[in-house]
A and B are shown apart, each in its own frame.
Chain A
C-alpha cells in the first residue's frame, strides 16, 4: 500500500457518535444499577443530575469516551464515571476539594451547545429552547470538557443542561457564591505536618490589621503614616481599611481619597514606591489639579524632595486591551481535538504574536524595571498612577517589589505580597474575574520569569474560595484545605537558595554583607540624586515636577529607553546575587509562554518521562539524600549545634517512578499518567510547509565531483 506520508493521516472532522450505540450501553449498564453521588463538601448541595452522560476523553485520537453521571451542585459541575476507577493513577498532587472531573461553577468560562453539528455559544436566551446533543464547557483554567447528552432521558438531559447553564451563566448575587456556604474547616491533627502548615498560615501577612502594616513599615524602614480613619470605610469604599501614606499629607477627606498616594514599599535608601488613583483631570478642574499637585509634593517630601510620577494608563495598554488580548490568547489553548491542535501548530508563533499577550507581559515587566531603576539607581520616590489605582498599579508595584525584595520571592513573602498589593490593595477581583478575569494572571505569569528565585513555582489555580474571599471564609493560603502535606511539597523550588549564614558548605562564593546593596552602585545615602534636588519651594517644585513628568517617562513601549537598557546591562555585568536585585531579560527570545500553565491540559504536548518534573524528581531525590545525611550527622555528632533545617522535608519517593510508569511533563496537572505509551504523531504535516521556491525542486547534489585536497 502506498500512503502519501503525513498526508495519509487525513484530517477528518471527528464524528463523535461512534463506537457504542445506546442499546449497547443499556445492556452494559443494567447490572450495576447503583446510584452514585459525589462526595459533597460541607455546605454543598446537589441541584440536579443526569445519567448516562458520555464524557469524551480528550487524550485519545479515537474520540472515545466514558459513561457516567453528570451532577450540578452549588459549588461545581461534576462527572462521576460508571467505570471502576482504574489503577489509582499518581495522585500525589491531589486537590482535596475538587478533582479531575470537577468544574467549580466560578471556573466556567463559556458553554457551547452542539445543535445538529453546529456549535453555538450558550447564553441566557438559548437555554429555554431545546437542549443540545453535546455540551462543551470551556473553563477559566483552560480545561475543555465535552459531554454528550443524547444517551440519557430527555427530561434529565434538559434539566442538567438548563441547570448548569443557569448556575454558571446567570447573574447572581455575591451571597450565592459558594464560599459563603462552605462550612469546611481543616480537621486538625490529621498528620504530623499539621503544625508546619499552621506555621505557614500564620506567616502569611494578611495586611488586615494596623499591626501588619506597622510591621511592614518597620521591615522596610519606611517613614510614613498609617491611616486608620478608613476602618469603617468612611473615607472611601475603594480604599483599604488600613493603608499607609506619606507623612506630610494632612488632609485625608477631600475627593473621597482620590489622588491619595498609597505607600507600597520603601527602598533601603529611603525613597519609596507609592501608587494612587488619579482620575483624568479636565482643564476647568483647577482645584483638583492643585490637590493632585499637593499629593505629588507629599511624595517628594518622603525622601530628598524628588519624585517621578508615571501615569500607567498612558504608557501601558488599558485593561480592555489586555482583556481582548487575553481572550485571543486563551483560544490557542482551548483545544477540543487533535486535528485542531496540529492545524494550529503550524502558525503557532505568528498567532502568538498576533494575540499581543507576550508583548503586554513584556511591557509590564519593562515598566517595572523602569520603576526599579528609579528606586535603585536614582533613589527617587516613584508614584505610579492610573484611574482606579488598583489594576496596573498592582501589577507594576508587585513586580517591582519581587525584583527588589528577596522576601517576596519566598513562598510566604509572595503570599503576603498578593495580600498586600492585591487583596488588601483592593484589586477588584470580583469584577475582573467574572468579567475581565485577567489581572491576577499577570502577576503569576510574571513570576515565571524568575523561575529559580521564585518559590511559587507551582501556583495552582485558585479556587473560588479565595477569589471572592471575605475574611470570614477560610483563605486560600491555608493550603491544607486543598492539598495534603505531601502535595504541598511541590510548592517549593528545591533549588531555592535560602539566605543562611552559618552554612558555609553550600555557598562557596562569599557574599558581602550589604546584599541588597550589591547589585548596583547606588548613590550614597545622603547624596542628592543628580537630577532630583529641589528646594522646598512649592512653586518651583511644581514646575520642575511637571517637566519631569512629561520628559522622563515618555518612552514608547517598543523602544525601552537607552538608560533602562544600560541599567539592565550594568546589572548583568555584576555577579548574580540571589538575595539582591533580580532583573528579567526582556528580549524577544527570552520571553516564553508559560507552558505548564497554559498547555497543561493538552495531551498532545505531554512528554512522557520528560519535562521539568524529570529534573524535579532528581533534585528532590538529591535533596532528601542531603537531608538524610545531615540528619545522620546531627545524630552522631552531638557536639554540633543541631541547627534544624527549616525547609520542608523532601519526600522524593513520592516522585520516584519505576520504569513502567513514567510521569508526564504536565505532572501534577495531567491525571492521565498511565495512558498508553504511544508517541503523538503529528497529522497534517503536508500543509505545514509548502516550500514553493525553486530551491525545493533543486537536485540534492549540485555536483558529484569530489575534490578533497
Chain B
C-alpha cells in the first residue's frame, strides 16, 4: 500500500479521489502536533486555495477544502529551510507566512492569528518541529520504527567491497591505524594503503595532510592495477614544508602499479585558490618534492560558489519561467557549467586510469566535497558495478558516508540557521552529474530517475538515518545504525519501482560521457517538478514496462504450449517423428 509508505510526493499537489475519507497518512510514531482550519495556501500556479493545515512531528500537510477535485500538499518537515512571518498582520487580522524549502520551492500561507493570544499559532508549532535540532529535540529518524524486510545498514561491508576489487593483494594492505578514529576522525575505520608504508609513517603523513586525511585507496583497476587514491591537501604553507613520509607514500602508490612510472595528482580546485591556500598553511604538491608526479588543477569552485549558483537557479525556475530569456538566464546561473567542470574532472581521472593505466591521487582542500564528487563519478565511469542499484548504494556508503562528506553541515538537518555558510548543495550536484550520465547512457544504469529523486528527497526528509551526521565516527557515536532505519531498507524492499526497464548489463564497459554544455541538460523533472506544466508529456517508461510485460506473457504462453506439445508427443510415442519442438532461444529478463 503506497499511501502508508514513506513516499515523498513527486508532484506538488496530490489529488484525492475520495475527499470524504481522512487521508492523512501517518507513519509509525508520527503524531499530529497541531492543525488549523481556514488556512489559505497561495499556490503560484493555480492561485489561492483554502483548506486545513496539519503539522506532525514529521510532515506538513495541507488539504484544500474549497475545490474539486480535493487535493493536498504533503511534505516532510526536513525539507524546510526557513519558516517566517512576512510583514505585519493585515487589517483583517491575516498573517502571511513564507516557507522556504530545500527542494526548490517556496510556499506561502495566509492565516488568521488566533484570537486567544495565549494559544500558539500553527506556524509556531511548525517552526518548532521543523527545526528539532535547534529546539533540542531529536530528528524524526530516531522515532521512526518501521520494519522493512531488508536491513539497509548491511548493504555496505567495506571488507567485502574491497574484496570484490581483489584487495588486499601483494601491493595493498588493510591498515588498522584508524580503527578508533585516532588518526583521522572523519575517515572510516578501514583503510587501504600500500604495503610498503608502515602505520607509523601514516601517522606522520597525517600531520602533513589537512584534517589528517591521508592518501588512501578508493578503487583499483582489476587489470592494470592503476589505483584511484583520495586525500586532502598537503600542509605546505608559505614556507614550502615537505614531508618525507608523504613523498614516500605517493611514490609507493606509483610503485604499486607496475604499468606506469608516473602518477597524476588531480587537485580539484582552480590553481589560484590552491595557491591562496598556502597562505593559510595548506597548498599542493610541488614538482620538486614529488618526482614523477604531474599535478593537474580541475578548476572546480568551492562550496560557496555552488550554493550561490543553486540559489540563482531557483530564482530562474521557481515559480515562473521567463520565456523569452530562459536560456540566457539559465546560463547566468552557471549551474550547468559547474556540472560540466565536475564531469570533465571525473572524465580526466577516468581517462588517466583507464587509457593511461596510471594511478591517480585526487584531493581538494579537505577532501570531503569536491573529492568525493570526482572519485565517485570516476568510479561510476570505470566500474559497471556502481551503476547497479546496490552498487550505487555501496558507492554512496563508501565514498560519501564513510569518507566523511559533512552531510549534517551541508544540509543542515533540523537546524534553523538557514544562513549557515557551511550549507552547500554538493551532494545534489553529484546526483545531477549522475543523472546527466544516465541521460547519455540510458541503458547503462540499473536504476531510473525516480531512484535518484527519491535519494534526494530523503536526503532532506530526515526520515531515514542514512544521511545524518558528518562522519562514520559520529554515526557510530550516535548509534545511528541501531536507532534509525536506513534509506536502503526502504529502497531495497520495493526495488521494482526503481529499476530501469531498459538496463543492459555490460560488465566491462567503461563509460566516457560527453561533457560539453551542448550535451548537458537542466534536470527539469527535479528542479522544475513543482511546475504542473512541466510534467512529462508521456510516461515512456510505462511503455517500456508494458513491453516487458508483454514479452513475459508471451514467453509464458510459449512455454505452456511447448510443455503441452511435449506431453502430447510423449503420450503418442508411436507416431511418426513429428517436427521437433522448435527451441526458443531463452530470453533474458532484466526485470
Residue ranges of A at the interface with B (Cβ–Cβ < 8 Å): 1-8, 341-342, 345-350, 352-353, 358-359, 452-453, 495, 497, 505-508, 558, 568-569, 572, 576, 584-585, 587-590, 592, 595, 599, 604-612, 614-615, 617-619, 622-623, 625-626, 628-630, 632-633, 635-637, 659, 662, 665, 677-682, 685-686, 688-689, 691, 693, 695-703, 706, 708-709
Q: Are A590 and B524 in contact (CB under 8 A)?
A: yes
How far, in whole Å, are A400 and B316 apart by their CA atoms in the complex? 31
A632-B558, A708-B469 known; A5+B298 contact, CB < 8 A:
yes
Q: 26 A-B residue contacts at CB 8 Å?
A: A3-B296, A5-B270, A5-B271, A5-B298, A346-B517, A348-B517, A558-B324, A568-B533, A585-B534, A587-B534, A589-B534, A605-B519, A610-B513, A614-B504, A623-B547, A632-B582, A633-B557, A636-B561, A662-B509, A678-B512, A681-B347, A691-B305, A695-B305, A697-B276, A698-B304, A706-B409
A604-B516, A697-B273 known; A609+B584 contact, CB < 8 A:
no
How far, in whole Å, are A608 and B347 apart by their CA atoms in the complex? 14
How far, in whole Å, are A647 and B32 apart by their CA atoms in the complex? 57
Contact of B280 among A507, A699, A703 (CB under 8 A): A699
Q: Nearest 8 CB-CB pairs, A to B?
A: A588-B326, A5-B297, A679-B512, A702-B421, A629-B554, A353-B327, A349-B331, A610-B441
Chain B residues with Cβ below 8 Å from A495 are: 540, 543, 547
Chain A residues with Cβ below 8 Å from B551 are: 622, 625-626, 629
Contact of B334 among A358, A628, A637, A689 (CB under 8 A): A689
Q: Are A614 and B442 in contact (CB under 8 A)?
A: yes
Shortest A345–chain B CB gap in Å is: 5
Shortest A361–chain B CB gap in Å is: 13
Residue of A whose beta carbon sits closest to that of B302 = A700
Beta-carbon contacts under 8 Å, B359-393 to A: 364-366, 369
* B514 CB within 8 Å of chain A: yes
Chain A residues with Cβ below 8 Å from B540 are: 452, 495
* B200 CB within 8 Å of chain A: no
Chain A residues with Cβ below 8 Å from B553 are: 505
- Given contact pairs A341-B516, A626-B547, enumerate 10 new A-B contacts (beta carbons under 8 Å): A506-B546, A508-B546, A588-B323, A610-B441, A611-B440, A612-B442, A623-B547, A696-B302, A699-B302, A700-B366
Q: Are A633 and B558 in contact (CB under 8 A)?
A: yes
Q: Are B422 and A702 in contact (CB under 8 A)?
A: yes
Q: Are A698 and B302 in contact (CB under 8 A)?
A: yes
Chain B residues with Cβ below 8 Å from A350 are: 327-328, 331
Shortest A683–chain B CB gap in Å is: 10
* B538 CB within 8 Å of chain A: yes
Beta-carbon contacts under 8 Å, B529-561 to A: 531-535, 537-540, 543-544, 546-548, 550-551, 553-555, 557-558, 561
Q: Are A589 and B302 in contact (CB under 8 A)?
A: no
Residue of B whose beta carbon sits closest to that of A586 = B323
The A/B interface has a contact count, at CB < 8 Å, of 269
Chain B residues with Cβ below 8 Å from A452 are: 538, 540, 543
* B112 CB within 8 Å of chain A: no
Chain B residues with Cβ below 8 Å from A353 are: 325-328
How far, in whole Å, are A309 and B254 apart by their CA atoms in the complex? 76
Residue of B whose beta carbon sits closest to that of A658 = B506
* B587 CB within 8 Å of chain A: yes
Contact of A629 among B522, B534, B555 (CB under 8 A): B555
Contact pattern, B 547-584, Cβ under 8 Å of A = 1, otherwise 0: 11011011101100100010000000000000000101
How far, in whole Å, are A144 and B585 apart by their CA atoms in the complex? 45
Chain B residues with Cβ below 8 Å from A696 are: 270, 273, 301-302, 304-305
A353-B325, A628-B584, A629-B555 known; A614+B444 contact, CB < 8 A:
yes
Chain A residues with Cβ below 8 Å from B544 are: 619
Instruction: Pick the interface stretch among B52-60, B100-108, B336-344.
Output: B336-344
Shortest A289–chain B CB gap in Å is: 35
Q: Are B287 and A349 in contact (CB under 8 A)?
A: no
* B169 CB within 8 Å of chain A: no
Q: Are B534 and A599 in contact (CB under 8 A)?
A: no
User: How many B residues, CB 8 Å from partner?
Assistant: 108
A610-B444, A610-B513, A614-B442 known; A585+B533 contact, CB < 8 A:
yes
Q: Are A572 and B470 in contact (CB under 8 A)?
A: no
Contact of A609 among B323, B441, B531, B534 (CB under 8 A): B441
How far, in whole Å, are A497 and B542 apart by their CA atoms in the complex? 12
Q: Are A349 and B330 in contact (CB under 8 A)?
A: yes
Chain A residues with Cβ below 8 Å from B364 are: 700
Contact pattern, B 281-319, Cβ under 8 Å of A = 1, otherwise 0: 000001100000011111101111100100000000100
Q: Are A345 and B518 in contact (CB under 8 A)?
A: yes
Q: Are B351 and A703 in contact (CB under 8 A)?
A: no
How far, in whole Å, are A587 and B308 apart by their CA atoms in the complex? 25
A695-B308, A700-B369 known; A608+B512 contact, CB < 8 A:
yes
Chain B residues with Cβ below 8 Å from A584 are: 537
A599-B518, A607-B513, A626-B554 known; A6+B299 contact, CB < 8 A:
yes
How far, in whole Å, are A352 and B516 apart by their CA atoms in the complex? 14
Q: Are B408 and A708 in contact (CB under 8 A)?
A: yes
Residue of B whose beta carbon sits closest to that of A333 = B518
Q: Are A4 and B561 in contact (CB under 8 A)?
A: no
Chain A residues with Cβ below 8 Å from B504 are: 614, 618
Q: Are B294 and A3 in contact (CB under 8 A)?
A: yes
Residue of A whose beta carbon sits closest to that of B546 = A506
Q: Are A607 and B440 in contact (CB under 8 A)?
A: yes
Shortest B462–chain A CB gap in Å is: 13
Chain B residues with Cβ below 8 Å from A611 are: 440, 442
Chain B residues with Cβ below 8 Å from A606 are: 514
Q: Are B514 and A636 in contact (CB under 8 A)?
A: no
Contact of B321 among A358, A588, A595, A636 (CB under 8 A): A588
How far, in whole Å, are A350 and B344 apart by their CA atoms in the complex? 21
Chain B residues with Cβ below 8 Å from A352 are: 327
Chain A residues with Cβ below 8 Å from B508 are: 659
How far, in whole Å, are A626 and B470 apart by their CA atoms in the complex? 50
How far, in whole Å, are A610 and B409 apart by their CA atoms in the complex? 36
How far, in whole Å, are A293 and B330 apart by their CA atoms in the complex? 47
* B231 CB within 8 Å of chain A: no
Shortest B358–chain A CB gap in Å is: 14
Which of A349, A353, A506, A622 has the most chain B CB atoms closer than 10 A to its own CB?
A349
Q: Are A622 and B280 in contact (CB under 8 A)?
A: no
* B117 CB within 8 Å of chain A: no
Shortest B481–chain A CB gap in Å is: 16
Chain B residues with Cβ below 8 Å from A608 are: 512
Residue of B whose beta carbon sits closest to that of A4 = B271
* B110 CB within 8 Å of chain A: no
Shortest A306–chain B CB gap in Å is: 30
How far, in whole Å, are A572 and B136 apart by their CA atoms in the complex? 46
How far, in whole Å, are A686 and B286 apart by their CA atoms in the complex? 21
Contact of A681 among B348, B547, B584, B585 (CB under 8 A): B348
Chain B residues with Cβ below 8 Å from A345 are: 516-518
Which of A347, A352, A685 has the most chain B CB atoms closer than 10 A to its own CB?
A685
Q: Are A587 and B532 in contact (CB under 8 A)?
A: no
How far, in whole Å, are A619 and B504 apart by their CA atoms in the complex? 11
Q: Are B554 and A607 in contact (CB under 8 A)?
A: no
Shortest B59–chain A CB gap in Å is: 21
* B478 CB within 8 Å of chain A: yes
Q: Are B327 and A349 in contact (CB under 8 A)?
A: yes
Chain B residues with Cβ below 8 Å from A607 are: 440-441, 513-514, 519
How far, in whole Å, are A6 and B300 apart by their CA atoms in the complex? 11
Chain B residues with Cβ below 8 Å from A358 are: 327
* B133 CB within 8 Å of chain A: yes
A2-B294, A585-B534 known; A614+B443 contact, CB < 8 A:
yes
Chain A residues with Cβ below 8 Å from B420 are: 702
A689-B334, A709-B136 known; A701+B366 contact, CB < 8 A:
yes
Shortest B533–chain A CB gap in Å is: 6
Chain B residues with Cβ below 8 Å from A592 are: 521
Chain B residues with Cβ below 8 Å from A3 are: 294-296
How far, in whole Å, are A619 and B521 apart by their CA atoms in the complex? 24
Residue of A whose beta carbon sits closest to that of B304 = A695
Residue of B whose beta carbon sits closest to that of A585 = B537
